[in-house]
Chain A
Amino acid sequence: MEKYINARGLQCPGPIVELFKVAKASDSGDLITIEVTDSGFKKDLAAWCKKTGNELVSIVEEEGVIKAVVKKG
């Protein structure tokens, strides 16, 4: 399943909290795309992936929007 989170405009910790909730309700192999404007998110995301074992499939930053795709492990 593919899921999308629009976390644009949310300040820390909003984006990671949203991602945490969606991932918790997802199954192994699900792809989650999240769009974030808070620059602190990248560090949180790296720590979250490391801790959960979820895979960071891609991360791109364009015009101040960070778009990350993660695969639930």
Chain B
Amino acid sequence: MEKQKLVVIGAVAAGTKAASKAKRNNPDLDIKVFTKERYISYAGCGLPYYIGGVIKEKQEILVRSPEDFRNNQGIGVFTEHEVKKINVSEKKVIVEDLKSGNVQEFPYDKLIIATGASPIVPPLENIGLANIFTLRSVSDALTIRELLDSGKVKKAVVVGGGFIGLETAENLKYRGIEVTIVELMPHILPPFDEEIALYAQNHMVDMGVNILTGEKVTGFEGIDGKVSAVKTSAGDIEADMVILSIGVRPNTAVAVEAGIETGAAGAIKVNKYMETNIKDIYAAGDCAENTNLVTGKPVWYPMGSTSNKTGRIAGHNAALVKQDESMKDSLEGVLGTTIVRLFEINAAKTGLSERDAIREGYDIETVLVPGNDKAHYFPGNKRIITKLIVDRSTRKVLGAQIVGEGAADKPIDTIAAAITLGAKVSDLAKLDLAYAPPFSMAMSTTILSANVMMNKLTGRIETVKSGDVYKGLEDGSINILDVREEGEFFISAIPGSTNIPLNEIEARAGEIDKSKETIILVCKLGERAYSSYLKLKKLGFKNLRVLEGGTCAYPYELI
């Protein structure tokens, strides 16, 4: 009997994962992988660290070579071979060898599309100048690294403050280059909520990165064909290198031409088995859409973690000899869990942001809670700030964000697992988590923030968000009472606030200005403000609010 043929288009994360999984499950398959790129199976997410020199050798980012696949697994990988057309009715792909120009047809029984995504390059004035790059492929990284190693780059501009842009900015800064980030949105890390994103933004500014937000790049200027300046809505910025990290688009042209349906953000529509609308054709990785596990709606999260999963599922299902439902592997959905290190802080996110949740029509409650990643008395303990977003009616956890100097990976993964299993905030508060002083607080940050959320949901505490305090300062409608010690207040405080330390609050309650509607209680973390809230409430004060996260999570100006 003739061997069953599997063709895979694309050979980075999802494509190579799919091919490997299919071969492992069904060694009799004849598998051919086509990619128009020269390099395969590379660590795309590692590229910013390669240009920074943290990852020293090119070989380290190339996970596996075509020879590895051929010799060890019997999978044929054809680099610099572009699939020009999928002939659905005859089950063939038409492939051009980009080096020789030869065009050949290859038949398939099953086809997996893993064509990935490409960086957006907007049609701006003089975009074709030399030394304007995107950072997506190994070839991009090699060219950028070579230019940096030549020592000719003194000033760089990064367009776009998403993960790749920020990681690139960090790596360039570590190489001694003056870096400016230009972001169109009001803050960097656009998928994060404002107070978390601004915390990260303030840190990057402290580390010496220039950041322009709410500004637009309009074009470029050059000398001798090389970029010399970036034109923006805030004026020209000198630059001898530009990194465009505006975002990516799914590569779907070949699929669309073949009649394969696309959905969210133009990515290929797939069901939970990674099947497209056309029989025997699967899609996986960055070219395919995903389902958000919280909302159940189609989304597009082009991420390495998800690409590997969907590639594995597509490989598993395409390799099945019998298409029996019960044998199929599937993915119900993803949370868009992400994490990034920016100099000395970490920022992580899972599930819905506050903004997403409101847009989806949820009635939500949020908290912002500082804590330590280890026992507060254990050397090396560092702060992290946890934001939880909870559905008020079902009390289910919808999302979380974590930022700070401390370890953010463990708590975000804990919460991601909890959301995946449908946890309510009360479940989160009662999790039996590992504790010893070098690893956690006795009540971990996750449990602590869940408890604060429970207090809020049950009306034990009323709070206010930093953003609302900031807005209130502008219109003068609020009265801010800082209950920290005089020495702390003196060093830095919210403009316009007055100081009565917690231990004097009852004796000096008469000094509190009652003319304004709301009294905002402020301390460093929120704990002393909560104590003063309870004391003042007992004294008959009304309209009290505790500033969530205290001054340590307040991302606006302190004086």
Contact A17 B485 (CB under 8 A): yes
Residues of A within 8 A of B376 (CB): 11
Most chain B CB atoms below 10 A, which of A13, A21, A44, A48: A13
Contact B377 A11 (CB under 8 A): yes
Whole-angstrom CA separation of A19 from B16 in the bound complex = 61
Against A, the Cβ 8 Å flags (1 = close, 0 = not) of B466-502 are 0000000000000000001111101110000000000
**Minimum C-beta distance from B382 to chain A (A):** 9
Whole-angstrom CA separation of A21 from B486 in the bound complex = 9
Within 8 A of B (CB), among A11-58: 11-13, 16-21, 44, 47-48, 51
Q: Is B524 an interface residue (CB 8 A)?
A: yes
Q: Which residue of B lies closest to A14 (CB)?
A: B485
Q: Which residue of A lies closest to B376 (CB)?
A: A11
Contact A47 B487 (CB under 8 A): no
Interface of A is mostly: helix
Q: Is B361 an interface residue (CB 8 A)?
A: no
Residues of B within 8 A of A64 (CB): 379
Count A-B pairs with CB separation below 8 Å: 31
Contact B379 A16 (CB under 8 A): no
Q: Which residue of A lies closest to B525 (CB)?
A: A12
**Minimum C-beta distance from A46 to chain B (A):** 10
Residues of A within 8 A of B491 (CB): 16, 44, 47-48, 51
Q: How many residues of chain A get a CB closer than 8 Å to chain B's CBs?
A: 14
Query: Would A51 and B488 be within 8 Å (CB), given that A11-B376, A11-B377 are in contact?
Result: no
Contact B488 A16 (CB under 8 A): yes
Interface of B is mostly: loop
Whole-angstrom CA separation of A21 from B487 in the bound complex = 7
Against A, the Cβ 8 Å flags (1 = close, 0 = not) of B364-393 are 000000000000110100000000000000
Whole-angstrom CA separation of A47 from B491 in the bound complex = 6
Whole-angstrom CA separation of A51 from B377 in the bound complex = 29
Contact A20 B484 (CB under 8 A): no
Within 8 A of A (CB), among B501-550: 524
Q: Which of B377, B379, B524 contacts A13 (CB 8 A)?
A: B524
Contact A20 B487 (CB under 8 A): yes
Contact B488 A47 (CB under 8 A): no
Whole-angstrom CA separation of A13 from B492 in the bound complex = 12
Residues of B within 8 A of A20 (CB): 485-487, 490
Whole-angstrom CA separation of A45 from B92 in the bound complex = 71
Most chain A CB atoms below 10 A, which of B484, B488, B491, B524: B491
Residues of B within 8 A of A11 (CB): 376-377
Contact A13 B484 (CB under 8 A): yes
Residues of A within 8 A of B487 (CB): 13, 16-21, 48
Residues of B within 8 A of A16 (CB): 487-488, 491
**Minimum C-beta distance from A13 to chain B (A):** 5
Residues of A within 8 A of B486 (CB): 17, 20
Q: Which residue of A lies closest to B380 (CB)?
A: A39
A-B contact pairs, 12 of them (CB 8 A): A12-B524, A13-B485, A13-B488, A16-B487, A17-B486, A17-B487, A18-B487, A19-B487, A20-B485, A20-B487, A47-B492, A51-B490
Closest 6 A/B residue pairs (Cβ): A20-B487, A17-B487, A17-B485, A13-B488, A47-B491, A48-B491
